[in-house]
Amino acid sequence: MSANDNCRIQMVVFDWAGTTVDYGSSAPGRVFDRVLTEAGIHLTKEEINRPMGMEKKAHIRQLLSCPSGNSQWLKAYGRSWTDEDVEALYQRFESILFQVVAEYSQPLPGVVETVNALRKQGLKIGSTTGYTSEIMTQVIPGAKKLGYEADCVVTPDVTGAGRPTPFMLFECMRRLEVYPPAAVVKVGDTVVDMLEGKNAGAWSIGILTGSNLLGLDAEEYDSMDPQELAKRKRKTTEIYYQAGADLVIDTMADLPAAIEMLNCRMARKEEAVK
């Protein structure tokens, strides 16, 4: 990499569900709801989505640790939950998700066109996810058939640590030979996506439409009152920035302009938010 290259973004690392595929991150949310309901635990969509983006066993721990999950478990079982309970729920979650996740591989609007445009500019395309490598064997082929493919995909079971740690992003950098972290931008739809980028020393961009953090499926999005939708987007934007996002964009179509904005900031010797 030349000194001049150091002043420009060289790689974009995307999340999957809620960012590049699966509008609203529906697959994991619905499976978490099903598994918890089977166990007698009933959480709201917001409660289930709050830890989204984490490695899934860690996500389950967060759900059982939240006030509602913890109190419901105590009432249902007369004791606190244990690691064995987490493991049992996790195995059930992975089993169901493996069966259905391929159905949620449709790229979000603008993803294919945007990724193609970025590649034409010479950018490399990395990917990190909260899914395991086994689950990704179901997701990757479906997305590829519909036009989206990353140059590398890194999962938590490969690095031994998921988000918000930076190790999956570092592995993308290693595999695609991109450095320093300032030449990388992480694009995602959750708080832990932003934290992953920040902890790696990279730039972080949050996306609104189709995101887990906005919390709307496509039908809800299209039918929502425009003023209420704008209000929700403002609130979601604030959450992204509180998590350390450098920029927030509405749709994937806005990403090339956002990256050019980061290139201009780098040329002025600005750094990513710490």
Q: Which residues have a catalytic role annotated?
A: 15, 56
Whole-angstrom distance, CA of residue 247 vs CA of residue 272: 10
CB 2: neighbour CB atoms within 10 A? 7
Q: Is 123 helix (H, G, I), strand (E, B) or coil?
A: coil
Whole-angstrom distance, CA of residue 201 vs CA of residue 56: 24
Which two three-digit tokens encode residue 225? 């009152």
Which two three-digit tokens encode residue 54? 């984490």
Whole-angstrom distance, CA of residue 39 vs CA of residue 43: 11
Which two three-digit tokens encode residue 37? 């309901």
Whole-angstrom distance, CA of residue 15 vs CA of residue 72: 32
